[in-house]
Amino acid sequence: MRGIILIAPPAAGKGTQSSLLCKKYKFAHVSTGDLLREAASKDTPEGIYIKEKMNSGELVDNELTIKLLEEKLKSIKASGFILDGFPRDLDQAKKLDQIMDEIDITRLYVFHIDVDLEIVKMRYTGRVACPSCGEIYNKFIDELKPSQEGICDKCGHELITRSDDNEKTFNKRFEVYADKTKPLIKFYNREKMLYHIDGNRSAKEINKQIVDILEGDNND
């Protein structure tokens, strides 16, 4: 099984790239944000805690996040998976190493998608999501607009702006990214598994570069 990790600031296009790659390779899309959003929708103390953390832009407790991720990873039947939003700090990266020892990973790719601050800010404020199937669109970027305004192309559900998609949350999330997640680039700069991608380009161009790397290396 092949594994892909995407390290990128908020709204750099992790969800979009995951979705494109999953369509092409039939990989499983594992988004800790989606797993946590599902847990947060429950009216339990845990659900309320998760929702508060997500709305503030801070990270959710590691133990809880890792528990959800581990269950999901161990249930995968596909030939590969894309980790969207995990790991987000060094402890999570070390834990992921342990989990991967238990599942059959033949090759791990880590893509660091680097994007300028002004660009991610614009993408962030334009983002709309499908609460039913998780597909992500953008009101301001032509290639990412749904065919019919406000409606999901994939399942026809009405699109929403997520409650954590506001400027205050963005600023906090960017700070958390720079402080805790960006140092992972150094951690993964080993065993030729890290690739730098210029994320200031269109989703199509970014996708092409990632696919070229995966195809150039598909003999494992």
- Beta carbons of 88 and 9 less than 8 angstroms apart: no
Which of helix, strand or coil describes residue 207? Answer: helix
Closer by beta carbon to ligand AMP, 145 or else 162: 162
Q: CA–CA separation, 124 vs 126, rounded Å?
A: 5
For the question of residue 14 being annotated catalytic, the response is yes
For the question of residue 201 being annotated catalytic, the response is no
Please state the closest distance from residue 218 (CB atom) to ligand AMP, in A.
27
9 binds ligand AMP (CB under 6 A): no
Spot the catalytic one: 14, 72, 95, 121.
14
Q: What is the DSSP letter of 4?
A: E
Q: Which residue is nearest to ligand AMP (CB)?
A: 33
Please state the closest distance from residue 220 (CB atom) to ligand AMP, in A.
26
Q: CA–CA separation, 11 vs 170, rounded Å?
A: 9
User: DSSP letters of 129-185?
Assistant: E-TTT--EEESS-GGGS-SSTTB-TTT-PBPB--TT-SHHHHHHHHHHIIIIITTHH
The 18-57 site mask, x for binding ligand AMP (CB under 6 A), equals --------------xx--x----------------xx--x
Q: Which residues bind ligand AMP (CB under 6 A)?
A: 10, 32-33, 36, 53-54, 57-60, 65, 85-86, 88, 92, 164, 173
